[in-house]
């Protein structure tokens, strides 16, 4: 896989997960060689005229890691700490995620180095349109399809689609997913990541005889995916005892009223344990904790739903949860995996758990191309069916081969990727004399 000499590289660390998986698949050297490098890595400069008249230049990236099984597919994140290595790693994960879910896509990702909270809405629009101006030749409905990610949303996706359509002089709805409904978006896309994760959780936990009302949950990351999964679990009867955002978290052993916490945060931008009745919210007893303290809570289920590298060798020994579901991309690094495995902790990997987002993005792409749009119930049912099938297949592989679930997920994806890559020809084919 990617060059192991760069030990500090997120991509090199991500590729370590495949070393074990490769022991359990029959895949050609040709296929392995092709997966060692991204197909394209584009770095761009985006000049933006700010509201005060000053010109500021932002750096952006778009990576298409592999498109053997179909057009590249992946989100665009706005974050001050975006790096090319990070974007390549995310595109790498997307390659395996799409294969795991048997979607006709390859893996891609994009990002801009920016703190979007420091920009006005007008500046944010100019930046988003400028990004498309810079990468327009590298994306397209059958080339590379964009979607929302960290600190990007439906409105930003709408700007990007509109700008690409302006450049091409034709309406190109399918080049971007996660758009507003009025611009060709799909029902259920805003909750897709959480809905997919919820299906995986509901599929897996009964295998361990866990009962929702007796199962405690902590969720790190209270953004769109984290808040929604917390809400879904609470509605299903799980006891969600802790949640956190970038500023810190709250913990209430008796359980949190997630609906009220969401309402209070949206109104006040503060994270507090509250109970709301109509417009009146009353603070209830809780502890204020840090993100690291949340990760170490003695709960049954831990859900990292924030950013990469939240659980590493430095804090993995502190983890007490028995089951971890990765809603974020890459929240656990490879060194931590070994420590968690030694502690008997089950880790359900990101390429399975958070694949609901790209799955409904696929549905949106299909609807855009056909002009036939589905109801919310249809989207959610199709998503549930897709996630259930691949979750069960991954579980069966882990049981049949006696391997951990992350390795099983990569084995499942590699089998599909290997078949597609080998269909283009291998060393054995070209040296067979046929």
Residues 12-43 have pLDDT tens digits of 877 778 888 889 988 888 888 888 889 999 99
Residue of 207 and 434 predicted with greater confidence: 207
pLDDT of 154 over the 90 cut: yes
The yes-or-no verdict on residue 156 having pLDDT over 80 is: yes
Query: 4 pLDDT band (50/70/90 cuts)?
Result: very low
Options 109, 239, 262, 386, the catalytic residue: 109
Q: What are the C-alpha distances in Å from 47 to residues 131, 390, 425?
A: 9, 43, 43
Q: Decide the pairing of beta strands 55-66 and 40-49.
A: antiparallel
Close Cβ partners of 8 (under 8 Å, ≥ 6 residues apart): none
The dihedral sign for the CA sequence 18, 23, 28, 30: positive
Q: What are phi and psi of 135, to 5 degrees?
A: -110, 5
Q: What angle do CA 356, 132, 358 make, to 5 degrees?
A: 5
- Cα distances (angstroms) measured from residue 120 to each of 46, 55, 155, 360: 16, 14, 14, 30
Question: Has residue 279 got a pLDDT over 70?
Answer: no
Residue 109 annotated among the catalytic residues of the structure: yes
The DSSP symbol for 9 reads: -
Domains in the chain with CATH codes = 39-183 (3.40.50.10860), 192-353 (3.40.50.720)
Is residue 81 classed exposed, middle or buried when 0-12, 13-18 and 19+ CB atoms within 10 A define those classes?
Answer: exposed
Specify the 3-state DSSP secondary structure of 105: strand
Question: Band of the pLDDT at 203, cuts 50, 70, 90?
Answer: very high
At residue 384 the predicted structure's pLDDT band, cuts being 50, 70 and 90, is very high
């Amino acid at each position: 896989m990617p060059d192991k000499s760069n030990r500090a590289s997120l991509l090199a660390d991500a590729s370590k997960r495949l070393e074990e998986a490769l022991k359990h698949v029959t895949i050609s050297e040709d296929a392995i060689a092709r997966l060692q490098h991204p197909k394209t890595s584009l770095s761009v400069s985006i000049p933006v005229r700010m509201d005060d008249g000053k010109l500021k230049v932002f750096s952006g990236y778009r990576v298409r890691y592999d498109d053997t099984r179909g057009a590249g597919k992946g989100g665009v994140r706005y974050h001050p700490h975006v790096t090319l290595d990070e974007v390549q790693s995310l595109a790498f994960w997307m390659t395996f995620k799409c294969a795991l879910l048997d979607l006709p896509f390859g893996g891609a990702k994009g990002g801009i180095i920016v703190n979007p909270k420091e920009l006005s809405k007008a500046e944010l629009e100019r930046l988003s349109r400028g990004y498309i101006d810079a990468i327009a030749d590298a994306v397209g409905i059958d080339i590379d399809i964009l979607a929302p990610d960290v600190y990007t949303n439906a409105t930003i996706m709408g700007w990007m689609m509109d700008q690409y359509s302006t450049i091409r002089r034709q309406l190109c709805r399918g080049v971007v997913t996660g758009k507003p409904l009025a611009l060709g978006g799909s029902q259920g896309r805003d909750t897709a990541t959480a809905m997919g994760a919820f299906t995986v959780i509901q599929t897996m936990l009964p295998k361990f005889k866990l009962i929702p009302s007796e199962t405690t949950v902590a969720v790190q990351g209270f953004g769109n995916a984290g808040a929604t999964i917390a809400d879904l679990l609470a509605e299903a009867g799980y006891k969600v005892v802790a949640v956190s955002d970038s500023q810190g978290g709250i913990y209430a052993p008796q359980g949190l009223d997630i609906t009220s916490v969401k309402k209070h945060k949206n109104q006040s931008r503060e994270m507090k344990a509250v109970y709301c009745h109509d417009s009146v919210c009353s603070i209830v007893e809780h502890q204020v904790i840090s993100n690291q303290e949340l990760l170490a809570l003695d709960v049954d289920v831990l859900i990292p739903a924030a950013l990469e590298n939240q659980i590493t060798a430095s804090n993995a020994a502190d983890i007490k949860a028995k089951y971890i579901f990765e809603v974020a991309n890459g929240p656990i690094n490879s060194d931590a995996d070994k420590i968690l495995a030694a502690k008997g902790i089950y880790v359900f990997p990101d390429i399975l758990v958070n694949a609901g987002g790209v799955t409904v993005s696929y549905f949106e792409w299909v609807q855009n191309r056909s002009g036939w749009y589905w109801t919310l119930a249809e989207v959610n049912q199709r998503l549930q069916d897709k996630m259930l099938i691949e979750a069960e297949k991954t579980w069966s592989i882990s049981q049949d081969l006696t391997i951990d679930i992350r390795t099983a997920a990569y084995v499942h994806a590699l089998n599909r990727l290997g078949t597609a890559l080998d269909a283009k020809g291998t060393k054995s084919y070209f040296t067979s004399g046929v």
